[in-house]
Structure 1
């Protein structure tokens, strides 16, 4: 992706995050990028096109690269994942001078807007969910085979507990704007307890 296109996407995402899809105008987008109208429209012809690409760009940048996480130990995998997740949330909160930690909740609003405006966006979310579930199940299966964990729960159930806990904590911290609470600390406290139960 070229630098100009990347610049437009970053500026647009920050504007959509601070305001909302409906409130942001093309004129404002052009002004905030510091580009001429003609140069801007060379890259994006409509607000809808820009919005969808900005959301997809953000999603791809916050989706974990599971290949870099330790797959031989469930304990190491989820610890590395928690650190990564905290970095991602901080990048959403600090990506711009006028962004506040509490505005992370707007990310969720943007996703819901994208689902309303572009029904096909749901497929992208489902694809992300399946990739995440597959990665967790693979690590959990290995942990079970290696004797790291023993549980009556099947691999998918265990994976969903890890995933849904993560989703819930991220949303909760975003909604209550609790600056004292660190996502990775909270995740690890709960995940470590769950892990001890899985060890039997």
Structure 2
């Protein structure tokens, strides 16, 4: 099964402070629930997998599952990468072009994800394509990521995170990421996902010319 997300070491850009004991226990519980969910879905399908089965497989109670994840879709979609992406983006030079900063942050985060959780990424992408409820929930959860990244860019530029240009910028970048991921999944995960994301961001940078 997939390993836990790799947090940068203190010497790396974007490093996070070491987690305390309580936070490590919470992380282990979230990972155990997520791994159990992916294992059960691989064995019997998404619809047949229940919260009760997930709780039993993860050796926690159903109420614990719901304490960490509001819905079954959230178990599939939630990872630990938002804080890592935020720290990575904040570590970029303040005078760097925002699209370049976001591009490098996304590639760094995705590369780490693919190195440590490649099978989980592939299974998640298959489920995004196959399960309408997961696709719908993905759009909702991406709004949380958008708020985090918008705040980083707002802090860099002295604007409000609610600035319309910042919101449009983040929406365009995350929308491109969503469509590339779905396209990759719809086409049997063929091709280099990172290269495809770079191509999509090139399209944005070029002014959406076809």
Give the structure-1-normalised TM-score. Answer: 0.58
From 95, 101, 106, give the equivalent of 2:122.
Answer: 101
> For the residues of structure 1 that align with 2:129 and 2:146, how far apart are their CA atoms?
15
* C-alpha distance 154-21 of structure 1, shift in aligned 2 (>3 A): same
Which of the pair is proportionally richer in helix?
A: 1
What does residue 108 of structure 2 align with? 83
What does residue 13 of structure 1 align with? 37
Contact 1:85–1:184 under 8 Å retained in 2: yes
CA positional deviation for 1:5:
3.2
CA positional deviation for 1:134:
3.4
Deviations 1:117-170 (A, max 9, x none): xxxx9976543332234335656x48xxxxxxxxxx944333322121111101
Contact 1:86–1:182 under 8 Å retained in 2: no
From 180, 191, 194, give the equivalent of 2:201.
Answer: 191
What does residue 16 of structure 2 align with? none
> For the residues of structure 1 that align with 2:133 and 2:40, how far apart are their CA atoms?
12
Q: Counterparts of 1:25-36 in structure 2 under 5 Å?
A: 25=50, 26=52, 30=56, 32=57
Contact 1:82–1:184 under 8 Å retained in 2: yes
Deviations 1:37-65 (A, max 9, x none): xxx3xx31359638836735962413353
* C-alpha distance 183-166 of structure 1, shift in aligned 2 (>3 A): same
Q: Is 2:61 the partner of 1:44? A: yes
Contact 2:177–2:197 under 8 Å retained in 1: yes
What does residue 61 of structure 1 align with? 80
Deviations 1:71-95 (A, max 9, x none): 5212243123223134436655424
Pick which of 69-78 and 20-29 moved more.
Answer: 20-29
- Structure of greater Rg: 1
Give the structure-2-normalised TM-score. Answer: 0.56
How many correspondences in the alignment? Answer: 169
* C-alpha distance 5-193 of structure 1, shift in aligned 2 (>3 A): closer
> For the residues of structure 1 that align with 2:40 and 2:76, how far apart are their CA atoms?
13
Q: Counterparts of 1:112-127 in structure 2 under 5 Å?
A: 112=133, 126-127=143-144
5+ residue gaps, structure 1, are 34-39, 143-152
Q: Is 2:163 the partner of 1:172? A: no
* C-alpha distance 134-183 of structure 1, shift in aligned 2 (>3 A): farther
5+ residue gaps, structure 2, are 1-23, 159-163
The 3-state SS of whatever aligns with 2:69 is helix
What's the RMSD between the two structures over aligned residues? 4.4
What does residue 134 of structure 1 align with? 151
